[in-house]
Structure 1
Amino acid sequence: MTGIADAVGTRGSLDGVIVLDVSRVVAGPYCSQILADLGATVIKVENPRDPDYTRTFPPFMNGDPDGFSAFYAQYNRGKQGITIDLGTAEGKQVLRDLVAKADILVENFRPGTMDKLGVGYSSLKEINTALVYTAISGYGQTGPLSRRPAYDNTAQAAGGLWSMNGYPDRPAVRVGTIIGDLSATMFGVIGTLAALRHAERTGVGQLVDVAQTDSVVAMTETAVVDYTVSGKVAGQLGNQHPFVRPYELFPCKDGFVFFGGYTDKFWRITCEMFGQPEFADDPEIDTMTKRFVDEVYERRVRPLINGWFADYTKAELETMAGDRVPMTAIKSMDEVVVDEQTLAREMIVDVDYDELGTLRMFGQPIKLSETPATPARKANQVGEHTDSVLEHIAGYSESHIEKLREFGAI
């Protein structure tokens, strides 16, 4: 174990924790990747004949469609890569031998898949009673829909988020990122760490059951209580907020900004900033409640703000607002990557891939003062560390490893 940890330079908060990542695509791999960033030794398990298919997702380093996927690299950095064919008896035994030494296993197959293979939680917990088994799926391990196939869009649709996004006079619009996967990732990490804490204290592991759909429901802000308390069904609001204004996108000279000056304090500062302090005391728009009224907002507040912003660029408006009122340029990704705050927070990291060049990808948003994360690391090639993992963790001899290759188990 020490040899493996030294090889990837792990000395973070989770140093010494061994994670088996049997997942693929995003929700599971990103969950284990966060654990890797935080110091865990994460072993990426792939089928030798059917590896994680995000290896085929663009963009590719050096622009070679047969080359290394930057998509894969971003969600699998810092992991040890091994291959195991769980369809073989020998491959199943390899996984069981690794489970005996592991602390966590992460998988995101459809419920029942691992059980069919004979390596589900009920089987593996007999080998390691302290094992934390994190299962991320579309609908969860229980319920009438648990066996249905699901993707990110499934969760956005079934969890209600899709119906809330977009403009009221147009069809609903999916959120522009894989929020079903990403929210399940975050809840998966939280659940895994909570279960690990319990296992370390008691020696008893558990199943961590996280559903994409559940995760999306938990991301819908006030929509659930709006309905259960008042019968109001959340709809599409475009860029507006359901109960505060102004709090949306506004045009300016060279693009758009987010302006959130909805409180009376911020409204007064903004009026003064644009040389019209009298509007802070205008009896029609002098309070938050009055400014939120649809007719008043569209007739008085929006035109006023549009007029103020029209002659200024995004940068000028941000500079004017400074620390006084919430004003943020709507930035495209090319602007985000070079933004001074993004760089100051080390949210863009550079990883040297030798002859493939340098990959720039997002960093780790969790900042720890004593045990900082280490996100700037390479992702594994298929089966790259099979021999070293099986030697150091499973305790296999060279001859045993060679026989497993002959059997096609690894």
Structure 2
Amino acid sequence: MSGALDGLKILDLSRILAGPTCTQLLGDLGAEIIKVENPKTGGDDTRSWGPPFVTGPDGQPTDMSAYFMCANRNKKSVTLDIGTKEGQAVIKHLAAKCDVVIENFKPGALKKFGLDHETMLRDFPHLVYCSISGFGQTGPNAQKPGYDLMAQGYGGIMSLTGAPDGEPMKVAVGIADVMCGMYAATGILAALRHRDRTGEGQHIDIALVDSQIAWLINEGVNYLTSGERPQRRGNGHPNIAPYQVFESSDGHVIVAVGNDSQFSRFAEWLDLADLADNPQYATNPARLENRAVLTSVVQERLKRLSTGTVIEGLEKLGVPVGPVHRLDQVFSTDQVAAREMKISMDTERSNKGHVELIGNPLKLSRTPVSYRLPPPAVGQHNEEIFGLPDETE
């Protein structure tokens, strides 16, 4: 079967995570991605962000770090120095044949090369040109550098994450980058829809901080509605209780009571049926008001029970419950296997003959995602794309 985006060509001038996440997603859906890497720096910065690295047939580490591989399958790598007239000419030659250009340079940095969105859209009116930056192309912070950690700090998510009495905590993965890439992919598809109807390309300006603020979601609107600054609650939920991680006799278990009837069944199972009839706990607003006492009582009961006992008992009652898996447990589950969330891609660059990656979560019935190209070496596709020697030779 063909992919939903078969025939779409994307010139990818981005690096690190936000842009590569976006283009990998579009590549999985069938688009041809030409990834431009700087030969002077060894390519995408994340190629050196390790260990771990893939070990080559010669027993030595390659330039494929796990970090690089997480966002760079289904791409063809070429090397170009856009600081030269020759490199700029090749970029424009490629752009003329592409539908999308995506970049994450500092705002204004590409203007001196004639590769900025204004110049490129003037020369190629059909292009969808997406610019990813830390703070966007406008505003007083536009020229400040943008990395995931700074976006999480500036955009507020760190103030909500972590133990109530601990320090502000970032999310363990680069979630500001990843979500910015997702928003960028959505914007690109919307702009392509407009282009296909009108023939008119456009510029997409998306920022890490803007997208991080956008996914503050309920906590952000909680503040805007009440004017009260949210507090860190660890694993507690700002609007539902009990909805958190609890200690069990042999580890931890998640209980996520979403409504009053679930709470009634949960309390009865814990032999605390009187709580469901108590006005202090019978409704969710009341439980939130009395969260501290409720959490203490529930925790005292649950820590006497094993995780397996809690999960088995509450699942029978239709009360949302689940484990807290380590990654070794995650990737060994039958659910991951059934949903193909761990994949293997053949590559001659690994001494194992393959690399293992995380699968795409999209399950399209008519145009499924495909895994056609493993993460590339720097300049691996030079000859294929424009007849230059392969940098890996």
TM-score (norm 1): 0.88
Match of 1:192 among 168, 188, 195: 188
For the Cα contact (< 8 Å) 2:82–2:88, is it kept in 1? yes
Is the counterpart of residue 270 in structure 1 residue 266 in structure 2?
A: yes
Paired AA for residue 30 in structure 1: T
How many matched pairs? Answer: 383
Q: Give the superposition deviation at 1:200.
A: 1.1
For the Cα contact (< 8 Å) 1:349–1:376, is it kept in 2? no
Instruction: Determine the C-alpha separation between the residues in 2 that align with 1:223 and 1:264.
Output: 22
Paired AA for residue 57 in structure 1: W
Instruction: Determine the C-alpha separation between the residues in 1 that align with 2:10 and 2:337.
Output: 30
Instruction: Determine the C-alpha separation between the residues in 1 that align with 2:346 and 2:239.
Output: 47
What is aligned with 1:56? 48
For the Cα contact (< 8 Å) 2:64–2:375, is it kept in 1? no
Report 1:49-128 matches (<5 A). Answer: 49-50=40-41, 51-58=43-50, 59-62=52-55, 64-128=60-124
What is aligned with 2:12? 21
Paired AA for residue 305 in structure 1: V
What is aligned with 2:247? 251
Is the counterpart of residue 356 in structure 1 residue 355 in structure 2?
A: no
Q: Give the superposition deviation at 1:279.
A: 3.7
For the Cα contact (< 8 Å) 1:12–1:372, is it kept in 2? yes
Query: What CA deviation, in whole Å up to 9, does each residue of 1:209-236 have, x standing for no partner?
Result: 1100001101112343333333211221
Judged with a 3 Å threshold, the aligned counterparts in structure 2 of structure 1 residues 360 and 314 are, in CA distance, closer, same or farther, namely: farther
Query: What CA deviation, in whole Å up to 9, does each residue of 1:177-232 have, x standing for no partner?
Result: 21221111111111111111111111111111110000110111234333333321
Paired AA for residue 348 in structure 1: K
What is aligned with 1:331? 325
For the Cα contact (< 8 Å) 2:12–2:103, is it kept in 1? yes
Query: What CA deviation, in whole Å up to 9, does each residue of 1:51-90 have, x standing for no partner?
Result: 1121112211138445532221221101111111111111
Paired AA for residue 93 in structure 2: D
What is aligned with 1:47? 38
Instruction: Determine the C-alpha separation between the residues in 1 that align with 2:81 and 2:63.
Output: 24
Any gaps of 5 or more consecutive residues in structure 1?
1-9, 391-397
**DSSP-derived class of the 1:35 partner:** helix
What is aligned with 1:230? 226
For the Cα contact (< 8 Å) 2:314–2:321, is it kept in 1? yes
Larger mean Cα displacement after TM superposition, 333-342 or 163-172: 163-172
Instruction: Determine the C-alpha separation between the residues in 2 that align with 1:273 and 1:382.
Output: 58
Judged with a 3 Å threshold, the aligned counterparts in structure 2 of structure 1 residues 319 and 340 are, in CA distance, closer, same or farther, namely: farther
Amino-acid identity (%): 36
Report 1:298-337 matches (<5 A). Answer: 298-299=292-293, 301-322=294-315, 324-337=318-331
Larger mean Cα displacement after TM superposition, 155-164 or 209-218: 155-164
Larger mean Cα displacement after TM superposition, 184-193 or 262-271: 262-271
Query: What CA deviation, in whole Å up to 9, does each residue of 1:276-295 have, x standing for no partner?
Result: 5444324442222322223x
For the Cα contact (< 8 Å) 1:350–1:376, is it kept in 2? no
Structure (1 or 2) with the greater helix fraction:
1
Query: What CA deviation, in whole Å up to 9, does each residue of 1:242-276 have, x standing for no partner?
Result: 12110111011221111111421111221343455
What is aligned with 1:6? none
What is aligned with 1:32? 23
**DSSP-derived class of the 1:61 partner:** strand
Match of 1:157 among 131, 153, 159: 153
Instruction: Determine the C-alpha separation between the residues in 2 that align with 1:244 and 1:213.
Output: 27
For the Cα contact (< 8 Å) 2:254–2:321, is it kept in 1? yes
Larger mean Cα displacement after TM superposition, 97-106 or 319-328: 319-328
Instruction: Determine the C-alpha separation between the residues in 2 that align with 1:380 and 1:202.
Output: 35
RMSD between aligned residues? 2.1
Larger mean Cα displacement after TM superposition, 281-290 or 249-258: 281-290
Query: What CA deviation, in whole Å up to 9, does each residue of 1:314-363 have, x standing for no partner?
Result: 23322322261111111111111112222221111112223432322211
Report 1:334-345 matches (<5 A). Answer: 334-345=328-339
Report 1:141-220 matches (<5 A). Answer: 141-220=137-216
Larger mean Cα displacement after TM superposition, 306-315 or 101-110: 306-315
Paired AA for residue 389 in structure 1: I
Is the counterpart of residue 239 in structure 1 residue 235 in structure 2?
A: yes
Instruction: Determine the C-alpha separation between the residues in 2 that align with 1:280 and 1:361.
Output: 46
Judged with a 3 Å threshold, the aligned counterparts in structure 2 of structure 1 residues 389 and 249 are, in CA distance, closer, same or farther, namely: same
Paired AA for residue 41 in structure 1: E
Larger mean Cα displacement after TM superposition, 338-347 or 137-146: 338-347
Instruction: Determine the C-alpha separation between the residues in 1 that align with 2:162 and 2:340.
Output: 32
**DSSP-derived class of the 1:201 partner:** helix
Judged with a 3 Å threshold, the aligned counterparts in structure 2 of structure 1 residues 312 and 352 are, in CA distance, closer, same or farther, namely: farther
**DSSP-derived class of the 1:316 partner:** helix
TM-score (norm 2): 0.91
Instruction: Determine the C-alpha separation between the residues in 1 that align with 2:86 and 2:222.
Output: 54
